Amino acid sequence: MASDSNPNLRITIERNPSQSRWGCSPGKYQLKFDAEETCYLLKGKVKAYPKGSSDFVEFGAKDLVTIPKGMSCTWDVSVAVDKYYKFESTTSSSSFLSSSSSSSC
C-alpha cells in the first residue's frame, strides 16, 4: 500500500514542497543566514568562506547543501548559480549584505 509516510520505514515524502528559486551571476557576495537553509544547486560553482576565516567549502551543480542558522560567509561565485532553497523557519531568510561585483543577485 502506497502512502506519503510510513513510520515503520521512517521515510517521509513531502509532495510539492514550499521552496523558492534563486540565482546570481559570478562575483563575491556577503551573506548572513538567519535560519538554516537547505538548497539544491541546479547550476553554478561556489566557494563559501565563513566570516573571519581563510578556509572554504566548495560546492556546485547537483550538490545538496545545508547552511547552518547564524552563518555569515562570503560566496565567491565562479559560475553563475541557479538553485532551489528552503529555510527551516518560514519567517527567516538569508540577508544579502553586499557585493564586490557589478552583477546583481
pTM here? 0.73
Question: What average pLDDT score do residues 73-89 get?
Answer: 93
User: Does some domain include residue 105?
Assistant: no
| 93, part of any domain | yes
CATH number at residue 50: 2.60.120.10
In a domain, 1, yes or no: no
pLDDT, one tens digit per residue, over 21-72 is: 999 999 999 999 999 999 999 999 999 999 999 999 999 999 999 999 999 9
Q: Sorting pLDDT into bands at 50, 70 and 90, what band is 82?
A: very high
- Residue 51 is given by DSSP the state T
Number of structural domains (the chain) is 1
3 located within any domain: no
Amino acid code (one letter) for 93: S
If one counts every other C-beta atom within 10 angstroms of the C-beta of residue 24, the result is 20
Could you list the residue range(s) of the whole structural domain that residue 85 is in? 17-99
In a domain, 46, yes or no: yes
**pLDDT score of 4 more than 70:** no
In a domain, 42, yes or no: yes
**φ/ψ bin of 9: left (φ > 0), alpha (ψ from -120 to 50), beta (otherwise):** alpha
Q: Indicate whether 6 belongs to any domain.
A: no
